[in-house]
Amino acid sequence: MAEHDATAQLADITAGYVFGGPTLQLGAALVDGELHAEAQVRLPLAMMNRHGLIAGATGTGKTVTLQVMAEQLSTHGVPVFLSDIKGDLTGLSTPGTASDRVSERTESVGQDWSPAGFPVEFLSLGADGDGVPVRATISSFGPLLLSRVMDLNETQESSLQLVFHYADRNGLELYDLTDLRAVITFLTSDEGKDGLASLGGLSKSTAGVILRELVTLEAQGMDSFFGEPEFDTADLLRTAADGRGIISCLELATVQQQPRLFSTFLMWLLADLFAELPEIGDVDKPRLVFFLDEAHLLFTGSSKAFRESIQATVRLIRSKGVGIFFITQTPKDLPGEVLGQLANRVQHALRAFTPDDAKALRATVSTFPISPYDLEEVLTSAGIGEAVITVMNDRGAPTPVAWTRLRSPQSVMGRAPEGTVSAVVAASALLPRYREAVDSHSAAEKLTGRAAAGAVPTVASPGSPGGAGPSAPGPDHDDEARRIEEDILGAPSRPSGSGAEPSGAECRPGPGPDRRAPARSRETTDMADLALQAAGVIGRELARGLFGTQRRRRRR
C-alpha cells in the first residue's frame, strides 16, 4: 500500500471513531501492521443496544474483549449480564496486577491503566454451582419452552399445553417438576380419567411419554432449577452504591452436557425482561447489556420457531434499552436473520486449516464493509488480543473497518483467586432471598390431599352447569374446539364447517370444559395480538414466552 493511501486510511479511521457522547474505549488501530496510538477505536455507549458480535477462533482473546467491555459498561453505570461457561470471568471481581508486560501493552495502545475490581454478582442455575441460585417456576417457564428442554415433538408440545391449561383452570399451581408430574400422573390414573377425557386432545399414551421425559429431567438434576423462589429479572438491573453497574455472572459449569437447558433458560430470561420492561426508545446509555458466550449452543438443534423467536427478541428488545452481544467462533454459527441485526462487530483471528475453515473465512469477510485492508490476510495473521472492528456510529452508519490492538482489562484475566467467589456470594444481598428452595402448597400437595379425601378436581362443561359431565357434540362443541385451538394451542381457528383438522389426531380438542377465558387470559391474548401486529410474525415459542406464560407475585 502506498504511503499516501496508508495516511488517508489512518485519517479515515481516526475521524471515523470520534463521537460526541460517552464511549467504550476498545483499542488503537493498526495500518500496514504499524500500531497508531493516536487512532483510538471506540464504541458509542448509546449504540450498545444495537447489539453486536464478538467472534474468533479459540484462544484469540474473545473472553478478554468481553471483559474489557463489561468493565467499561460497569464504570458508566450500565448493568451487565454474562454467561460464564468456563469460569474465566470470575476475575472481574479482583483488581489486576501491574507488571512490565502490562505497562508495555497498555502504553502502546494509549491506555491509562490502573488495577481495579468491579461489582460482580455470581449466579448459578439452581443448585448447580457456587453462585446465588437462579430458579424459575414451571408456570413461568411455560409449556413451549419446557417442550424444548424435553425435546418434545409438536403433538406432544400441544398436549403439554393442554396439561398447563387443565392445571390453570383447576387451581393446580405448577411451581416445580413434582407439581407437573403430579398433574400428569393424576390424569393418567383411574381417578383422573374424567379429567383426561375432558381435555380431548390429550391421550393417555402421550401423557405417558411426557411423564417419562419429566422423570429423565429429574434424573439429570434439572429439578433444582425449577421451583421457588423464582428469580426476578429486575435484579439484573441493579447498580452498586458507588453508581457502577453490577455485573451478573451466570456460572454454567455443566452447560456442555445440557446445552438445551442453557439456551432455553436464556430465552426465558430475555422473554421475561421483554414482558416486564417499559419501552424507552433511544437513550444515552443502555439499561442492560447481555453477553451470551458460546452463542452457537443457543441454536444447536433448535427449531425454526425458536430461531425466529430469537430473531424477534433481538429486533424488539433494543427498544426496551437492552443490548445483546453474541460471542462465538465465526459468524456462520448464527442464523443470517440474527446476524443481520448485529450492528457492532469485533472479529478476532480465524484459522484456515481446512476447506470448511476457508469457506468460513470468506463468509466472515463478506459481512464487513469494503475497506483498504486485505481482510482475509488480516484475519489469518492477527495476533492474540487483536481484532477487526466496525461499529455503528452515533448517526446510525457503520464506522470504517479498523484492525485494532485491544486494551487490557483492569481486573484479573482468568479465574479469581481461590475463595473469592465464595466470599462474594456469601456477602451478596440476593443470597438471603434465593438461597433456600421453597416448597409451597401447590399441585402436588393439593392432588395428594384430594386423593386422600376422595375428591378429584373437575372442570365445568358448557352443556352441564353443574359440571357433571361433558356436553353433547354439536355447534357449541365445535365452537369451543376451534376457540381452544386459537386461544390455548396458539393455532389459527378453523372456520365452522370447513372440515379442516389440525395436524396430529392427538392435537384435536374434544368436548369438555367451559373455556370462557378469565379476564387475565383475555388481556394477555390482546397483548400478544398487538405485538404480533406490530412486529410481524413472531415464533410461537417467543409469543408464549413473552405473553402467555403465567406470572405470579414473587416472594421477597
Q: How many CB atoms lie under 10 A from the CB of residue 267?
A: 24
Joined grid coordinates for residue 316: 424488539
Number of domains, the chain: 2
Rounded CA gap, 199 and 510, in Å? 6
Short-list 49, 130, 35, 50, CA closest to 90: 130
| pLDDT for the residue 217 | 83
On whether residue 495 sits in a domain, the answer given is: no
The residues pairing with 36 across neighbouring beta strands, listed in sequence order, are: 29
| pLDDT for the residue 493 | 41
On whether residue 444 sits in a domain, the answer given is: no
- Percentage, residues of the chain above pLDDT 70: 78
pLDDT in tens, 211-229: 888 888 888 777 888 999 9
Contacts of 103 (CB under 8 A, 6+ apart): 113
Q: How many CB atoms lie under 10 A from the CB of residue 174?
A: 28
Rounded CA gap, 328 and 15, in Å? 30
For residue 186, how many C-alpha atoms fall within 13 Å in the half-sphere facing its CB? 28
| pLDDT for the residue 81 | 96
Rounded CA gap, 387 and 405, in Å? 7
- Provide the residue-wise pLDDT of the chain in tens; the chain has 556 residues: 445 589 999 999 999 999 999 999 999 999 999 999 999 999 999 999 999 999 999 999 999 999 999 999 999 999 999 988 777 899 999 999 999 999 999 999 999 999 999 999 999 987 777 899 999 999 998 888 888 888 888 888 888 988 999 999 999 999 999 999 999 989 888 888 888 888 776 788 888 889 888 888 888 777 888 999 999 999 999 999 999 999 999 987 665 567 677 778 888 888 888 888 999 878 899 999 999 887 887 777 766 767 777 888 888 899 999 999 999 988 988 988 889 899 999 999 998 888 888 988 999 999 899 999 999 999 999 999 999 999 999 888 999 999 999 999 999 999 999 999 999 999 999 999 999 998 889 999 999 876 555 555 544 333 333 333 333 344 444 454 445 445 444 444 444 343 333 333 333 333 333 333 344 444 544 544 444 344 333 333 443 444 344 554 444 4
Same domain? 384 vs 294: yes
On whether residue 38 sits in a domain, the answer given is: yes
The residues pairing with 288 across neighbouring beta strands, listed in sequence order, are: 322
On whether residue 293 sits in a domain, the answer given is: yes
φ, ψ of residue 299 to 5 degrees: the values are -110, -10
Short-list 10, 62, 58, CA closest to 33: 10
DSSP H helical ranges for 285-436: 304-316, 336-339, 355-365, 375-381, 420-426, 431-434
Residue 25 contacts residue 40 (beta carbons within 8 Å): yes
Where a domain ends, among 395, 414, 435?
435
Mean pLDDT, the chain, as a whole number? 81
Q: How many CB atoms lie under 10 A from the CB of residue 37?
A: 14
Q: 374 is in which domain, residue-wise? A: 8-132+233-435
| pLDDT for the residue 257 | 67
Same domain? 205 vs 71: no
The CA-atom distances, in angstroms, between 203 and each of 102, 163, 197, 506, 518 are 65, 11, 8, 6, 26
| pLDDT for the residue 293 | 80
pLDDT in tens, 406-436: 999 999 999 999 999 999 999 999 999 999 9
Classified as helix, coil or strand, 454 is coil
Same domain? 88 vs 157: no
Where a domain ends, among 226, 254, 270?
226
| pLDDT for the residue 218 | 83
On whether residue 242 sits in a domain, the answer given is: yes
Where a domain ends, among 173, 203, 226?
226
Rounded CA gap, 187 and 380, in Å? 60
Instruction: Supply the DSSP symbol for 221.
Output: T
Residue 399 contacts residue 392 (beta carbons within 8 Å): yes
| pLDDT for the residue 471 | 38
Domain holding 98: CATH number? 3.40.50.300
| pLDDT for the residue 479 | 52
Short-list 340, 315, 341, CA closest to 539: 315
Same domain? 127 vs 143: no
Joined grid coordinates for residue 498: 370447513
Rounded CA gap, 312 and 306, in Å? 10
Same domain? 110 vs 44: yes
Number of residues that this document lists for the chain: 556
Same domain? 98 vs 204: no
Contacts of 210 (CB under 8 A, 6+ apart): 150, 152, 156, 159, 160, 163, 184
Predicted TM-score of the model (pTM): 0.80
Max Cα separation, the chain? 91
Same domain? 246 vs 217: no
Contacts of 57 (CB under 8 A, 6+ apart): 329, 348, 349, 350, 351
- The CA-CA-CA angle for residues 288, 551, 305, to 5°, reads 70
Same domain? 193 vs 273: no
On whether residue 311 sits in a domain, the answer given is: yes
The residues pairing with 314 across neighbouring beta strands, listed in sequence order, are: none
Same domain? 154 vs 18: no
Same domain? 124 vs 165: no
Same domain? 30 vs 124: yes
pLDDT in tens, 488-516: 444 444 443 433 333 333 333 333 333 33
Rounded CA gap, 295 and 334, in Å? 8
On whether residue 149 sits in a domain, the answer given is: yes
Same domain? 179 vs 251: no
Short-list 503, 472, 470, 467, CA closest to 485: 503
On whether residue 30 sits in a domain, the answer given is: yes
